[in-house]
Amino acid sequence: MKVGRRDVRVSSPDKVLFPQIGLTKAGLAEYYARVSEFSLPHLRGRPLNLDVYPQGVEADGFFQQHASRWFPDWVDRVRVPKKGGNVEHAVANRADTLV
């Protein structure tokens, strides 16, 4: 999908994440793109923590702080100190990253 000037790839866009309302990954990505102008002023510069549900919200998920190596290189990151070291978080400074 096109977000600003960047093509953002959504894997498995037809996967249903919220079965009760039939919302797919592509639909969720489109939602984030639409609300980005309103949400980014509140998120910009802040380290992100993600609740990840690979099989949808009715299955088990996990809490992710670090920016995985599979995140695109254009995703901004920030190193945050933690007990015993650091963790590199993703930062949603632009709509493409939020999507």
Out of 39-48, 53-62, 66-75, 86-95, pick the least confident. Answer: 53-62
Max intra-chain CA distance, the chain: 42
pTM above 0.85, yes or no: no
pLDDT in tens, 14-36: 999 888 999 999 999 999 999 99
The answer to whether the CB of 98 falls within 8 A of the CB of 50 is no
* Structural domain range at position 57: 2-98
Helix (H, G, I), strand (E, B) or coil at 50: strand
Q: State how far Cα 90 lies from the chain centre.
A: 9
User: How many domains would you assign to the chain?
Assistant: 1
Q: State how far Cα 24 lies from the chain centre.
A: 14
Side chain identity at residue 86, one-letter code: N
- pLDDT confidence bin for 56, thresholds 50/70/90: confident
Task: Tell the residue number behind the tokens 């549900």, with chain if given.
Answer: 53
